[in-house]
Structure 1
């Protein structure tokens, strides 16, 4: 799916018919939202690109967790590419890129949105396996196995989204489905909500609960102190990403279902919906920030990568960071 783009565009069509708001009003709020879209896009692209480079250059996908993080960041980064197109249509109430670009953006955004959610789900299960049965399930948590699973997730996302994405066209001046009815709209909403949010999030919460019970039971005391600390740190990072996912996407789905039963939308609600759409995109932008804040390994990796381009005093601090990175090069592998 691309839940966001699919539902957002359909909802914009409703706004056009009911209010002609976006067509007639380009005020300070619209400009501010457009700027926020741009900021999220730039930060999302830069942050996820940094994560990808760090994993490829410094970690080299040495664990199952970093393989999933790599694919999550790749999907999130590619997801940002569609944001300027969506922001342009929202701002101008007109699709100016042609019918082919409409279908391409829908397919691209759909694949990346689904893959992002699926990767986060599998990563939560992977973390749960690492804490519950670290030795018995180790053969399912190798980088090779994680890469095969990731390839399957990309392919499954394509199969999931393709039937809906190809129904989009820009013939009417907006990139929307060829035909819209209440039953079709309800079907799309239900399909995307269940497959792109409800089921994955249920699995994430179940994994989170199992991890929390394991961490509180003291089972990590069997590990040495440093390994236990790294396991807890990586697990908390994944849990934070899961919580952020729910906080960013649940309001979006709530607004969309609400729109089914309220044909006439107040200006305040229309503006609030724009912010909710922005919030859902912000999740992909927030993940690299969470990695940097909650993982010592990623933080050291980021510093090691960015340090050489710093203008100030090249020497001691950079060398120290590289030394720390070398000494703890096993961190990300151990964590996963």
Structure 2
């Protein structure tokens, strides 16, 4: 008597329909995302021109025009450096996307990919540092005096660089170029095995450390600062500068949310469908379509970051001599009295920096 084999109990295979999930190893979805090449080429060209001009100008202001460097200025300088490192790699990406061929070798492909990851997640972490520094200066102005020092800011920046460079290098340890008979690709066309065993894990780690945690910290710090500003005692001390702080928070959160939330949300879904943790053709088409769009939005943070510098640093505004007469009138009427009030001295960072340069009291707690 022949015992039935397991195959005898298998039901007939269902006919595959487009859009239905299929968890077998042979799961494939026909998707066309070739539009991304022209999109990348056009967006990278704009980001290269604008990012190069704005960030070079910003570094010039930070390094040559500002006499005093506060904690926030240190964070913003490192943010501008991170943007420029990415901008310098864009000509290679522009050539690659318009020609759909990478002739520059595997090493330069690794450097290009590392610079991208360093910029995206370095920007989020440096923006988080600025947000935390603002939170400490406004909510705990006296208790945080020993923490908010230029030395500690430099140490934090070094830690951020080590973290983002380690993540970028780790993500590019394997061969990042794929050679075919017609062309060579850079950082794309990886097999499902690579996604399952390596890239998906790296993506999840980067998402948690570089995106989710900084996002929660930024939202928490901003909400606590806003709650502090609503207190009557705070309003009496901050005077007309309340609007300035609100602009700082709005611009800061807007850039973070607009540039980084869509990209990282889609990236998480993209990693799941590429590693076949989720096998659904509709979701895969959606992820492959939205990923290039959100990535382009994320890369435009290089052009938006100077708005952070402008709204956060008054010395940055003064360096361009924008409405000098109006600024001098504003300083003489509002800023001098406010520097004598110490409940929220952090708002007057740039004014007191100038006062210290001119022989003022260096012990005033005003370095925001």
CA-to-aligned-CA distance 1:98-152 (integer Å, 9 cap, x gap): 1111122223333333322211111111000000111221121122221222122
Query: Corresponding residue for 2:310?
Result: 292
Separation in structure 2 between the aligned mates of residue 35 and residue 91 of structure 1, nearest angstrom: 9
Query: Corresponding residue for 2:295?
Result: 277
Query: Corresponding residue for 1:164?
Result: 171
5+ residue gaps, structure 1: 1-16, 305-316
Distance change >3 Å, CA 151–CA 324, structure 1 → 2: farther
Query: Corresponding residue for 1:73?
Result: 80
Separation in structure 2 between the aligned mates of residue 320 and residue 214 of structure 1, nearest angstrom: 32
Quote how far apart the aligned CAs of 1:20 are: 6.6
Quote how far apart the aligned CAs of 1:50 are: 1.4
Separation in structure 1 between the aligned mates of residue 327 and residue 237 of structure 2, nearest angstrom: 27
CA-to-aligned-CA distance 1:144-163 (integer Å, 9 cap, x gap): 22122212221222233322
Separation in structure 1 between the aligned mates of residue 255 and residue 294 of structure 2, nearest angstrom: 14
- TM-score under structure 1 normalisation? 0.75
Bigger fraction of residues in helix: 1
Query: Corresponding residue for 1:9?
Result: none
Query: Corresponding residue for 1:301?
Result: 319
- SS of 1:174 mapped into structure 2: strand
Quote how far apart the aligned CAs of 1:55 are: 1.5
Residue pair 1:208, 1:239 contacting (<8 A) in 2 also:
no
- TM-score under structure 2 normalisation? 0.69
CA-to-aligned-CA distance 1:233-261 (integer Å, 9 cap, x gap): 25632442233112212222233333314
Residue pair 1:107, 1:165 contacting (<8 A) in 2 also:
yes
Task: Tell me if 1:331 matches 2:342.
Answer: no
5+ residue gaps, structure 2: 1-28, 336-348, 354-365
Quote how far apart the aligned CAs of 1:88 are: 3.6
Separation in structure 2 between the aligned mates of residue 257 and residue 155 of structure 1, nearest angstrom: 23
Of 112, 117, 121, which aligns to 2:124?
Answer: 117
Residue pair 1:66, 1:332 contacting (<8 A) in 2 also:
no
- SS of 1:138 mapped into structure 2: coil
Residue pair 1:248, 1:282 contacting (<8 A) in 2 also:
yes
Say which is worse superposed, 75-84 or 263-272, in terms of deviation.
263-272
Query: Corresponding residue for 1:188?
Result: 202
